[in-house]
Structure 1
Amino acid sequence: MKNEHVQQIDAAIAAVKSLSTVENFYFVACGGSMASLATGDYFINRELETPSRVYTSNEFIHMNPRGLGKNSVVILRSHSGTTPETVEAAKFAREKGAVTIAISMEETSPLCEAAEYTVHYNYKDGSDAIDGEVGVYFSLIFGIISALSSDEKYQRVLSQLSNLENLFESNKKQTLDRAYKFGMDYKREKIIYTMGSGAYYHQAYSFTSCLLMEMLWIHSNAIHSGEYFHGPFEITDYDVPFLIIKGEGPIRPLDQRAIDFAAKFSEKVEVLDVAELDYTGVDEDLREYFGPAIVGVVLRQYADGLAEHTGHPLSVRRYMWKMEY
């Protein structure tokens, strides 16, 4: 990892450690940025006793959480650093006295200027993983967890993040043919449901909202595997397509139950089994921490496969960036 990134992450972690008590964490962003931050929220809640919550930026301001104050840590993200709602959320949190950490590819952006601490990442279409958005963010999150916990495994997570680049490339190669076959098989579908649980639910949400709906104009909904049987499963039929992430860790039985039912009644169930991915260089007990990062890269290939076979480039928009809204 480049020295500038290390220094920024270390400064942010030191600010968190300097608090007499960390009362809560808030993860604040919009769209895909919110989905990426939610992975950190999942692991904070999983590994620490400190409460954590994800907010979409505008809601965070209007909600004005009662617990927000000088012992709060607010982590915000915007790829460009210009998302107006997130910039305002950073100003709002800082006025409340919280430690504010902005994550962006643009160090001179309004978001980074509004927050007290900046964590910058490189952006090269998914390459340069350790200095890219995933590597930098995971270094920050597990650095914070390690600083607030005595468990040695988080230090091992941090040391093994250097494998991300190789893991991304090996898993892209492993799943390329399957992803493009998915694009060919599902190219005429008007709706595709996605499903997952735990940290992987946020990947399902991001795939649904940012890739299928925003970029490909395919109707979709992200369904939590544990909630599938509490209403959504009634839409299951032989011609209803699902893409289901079968995760690693304690949530795996939730996903398997949903897969078993969906596959019983639908002929269009695509399962992305995280356990089948390549984890070379990652300790067995750390795989669940790396899985969400790898799945994000693989799902992007599924979107590329759909784009290739539908003839709809992922860069095309109707409204975004083209008008005031």
Structure 2
Amino acid sequence: MLNFDKDRFVRIQSGAVSIAGDVRALMRKLLADGVERLFFMGTGGVQLLTLPAIELAQRHSTFPVAAHFPAQVVLDPPAGLDSKALVVLPSLSGTTKESVQLLSFLKGRGVRTLSLTGHKDTPLAQEADYNFTNFAEDDTSSESFYLQTLLIVLALLAERGEYGDFDAIVSELRKLPSLLVDAKAAYENDAAALAAAIKDETYHIFTGAGSVWPEAYYYGMCILEEMQWIRTRPVHAADFFHGTLELVEPGVSVFIFKGEDACRPLSDRVENFARRYTDRVRVIDAAVVKLPGISPQARSLISPVLLSTLLERLSAHLEVLRNHPLTTRRYYKRVEY
């Protein structure tokens, strides 16, 4: 596979799953110590990677779980941001300026903090009350953060008696890293062909629903916009027919992401419409990924993980065909925050 290190990938994703036991023990302790609210506060794209886990919590529990933007929180904090709250701060670098500022702000309010980082010797890793560091880099971080935040929420639900299959799901997730490698290999030719087809296109609509909507948003904004300077329009499939449908015409590229959850019909509806009006409908479907030994219940939790692992292969080919490395930025190092 193009620009892919199998051993490194398996090591990183195995590291993400390996926090399961410790995170459940931590959640048990925090609930016993009086934590009554859970917030996820990541800066930029990493916040999007927390959304499937948050929606899972909101479907299964009345325990308050929400997402907020760090830069906004320090200016206008939400209610309940106090000693009875736990804030999860994901950051690959561990040095994200807005998140470091937020951590200081939270400490001043007595809020308990848990950081998820890719590097240990960093402010967010060293100064949060609790930390899980799992080394990763841009091409492996999506799956890692999806899995870690999923495990945090599953641990919360399990400790509250709202999810009885924690151990069984974790056992299945331990098989996932090597299966994801197989999924990448199976998608390699399709990824190369899709990259060749879109390499000169300058605009794409991205849509999806349920657990895969955040990945549609993430891939459009953080990969194609930030890393390839290609204009995108991410829109939730539930909103597609309330505005964006009017932009669909011959030649317009529409990426439709499909998961294996209750919201899949929303993506099906968009596909049925789009195929009537444009010749450039691209469907990325978690259901086509072969995962021997993984139950339907587990699959329903990991659709965004599967799509992100396939899309990494698309990105690997796209940067070569466009002669635009994913690390190339115009402004990232020069922006004054």
2:239 maps to 227
Kept after mapping to 1: 8 A contact 2:209/2:238: yes
The amino acid of 2:216's aligned partner reads A
TM-score (norm. length: structure 1):
0.91
Which ranges of structure 2 fall in alignment gaps of 5 or more residues?
1-13
Secondary structure of 2:75's partner?
helix
Q: 1:4 to 1:275 in 2, by over 3 A?
A: closer
Write the mapping of 1:123-138 to structure 2, written as runs, cut at 5 A: 123=136, 132-138=144-150
Deviation for aligned residue 1:11: 5.4
Contact 1:142-1:158 within 8 A present in 2 as well: no
Q: Distance in 2 between matches of 1:128 and 1:33?
A: 9
- Which moves more between the two structures, 146-155 or 282-291? 146-155
> Aligned with 1:245: secondary structure?
strand
Query: Could you list the per-position Cα deviations for residues 220-266 of structure 1 after superposition, in whole angstroms to 9, with x for gaps in the alignment?
Result: 12110001011111111111101110111110111111111111111
1:266 aligned to 2:285?
Answer: no
Q: Which residue of 2 aligns with 1:250?
A: 262
Q: Report what 2:57 is aligned to.
A: 44
Q: Match for residue 25 of structure 1?
A: 38
SS at match of 2:240: coil
Query: Which range moves more in the overlay, 30-39 or 150-159?
Result: 150-159
**Contact 2:24 / 2:156 at 8 angstroms: preserved in 1?**
no
1:176-215 to 2 correspondences below 5 Å: 176-215=188-227
- In the TM superposition, what is the alpha-carbon distance from 1:127 to its structure 2 partner? 6.5
| TM-fit CA distance, 1:149 | 2.5
C-alpha separation between the residues in 2 aligned to 1:202 and 1:129? 11
Question: Residue 83 in 1 paired to residue 78 in 2?
Answer: no
User: In structure 1, how many angstroms separate the alpha carbons of the residues matched to 2:215 and 2:57?
Assistant: 17
Whole-angstrom distance in 2 between the partners of 1:258 and 1:248? 16
Matched residue SS, 1:286: helix
Change (3 A) 1:129 1:310: closer
Does residue 143 (structure 1) correspond to residue 155 (structure 2)? The answer is yes
TM-fit CA distance, 1:47: 2.0
Identify which of 159, 167, 174 aligns with 1:155: 167
Q: Does 1:301 align with 2:318?
A: no
Distance 1:141 1:128 in 2: 18
Residues 40-96 of structure 1: CA deviation (Å, up to 9, x unaligned): 212211222112221221012222101222222211111111111111222222332
- Which residue identity does 2:161 align to in structure 1? S
Q: Give the TM-score normalised by the residue count of structure 2.
A: 0.88
Could you tell me how far apart the structure 1 residues matched to 2:290 and 2:20 are? 27
Deviation at 1:150, TM superposition (A): 4.3
**Structure 2 CA distance for partners of 1:153 and 1:8, relative to 1, 3 Å:** closer
Relative to 1, partners in 2 of residues 1:323 and 1:68: Cα closer, same or farther, differing over 3 Å? closer
The count of residues paired between Structure 1 and Structure 2 equals 323
2:69 counterpart of 1:56: yes
Conserved 8 A contact 1:31-1:206:
no
Aligned residues: CA RMSD: 2.4
Deviates more, 1:78-87 or 1:279-288: 279-288
Task: Name the % identity.
Answer: 24
The structural deviation recorded for 1:322 is 4.2
Q: Which has the higher contact order (CA 8 A, sep 6+)?
A: 2
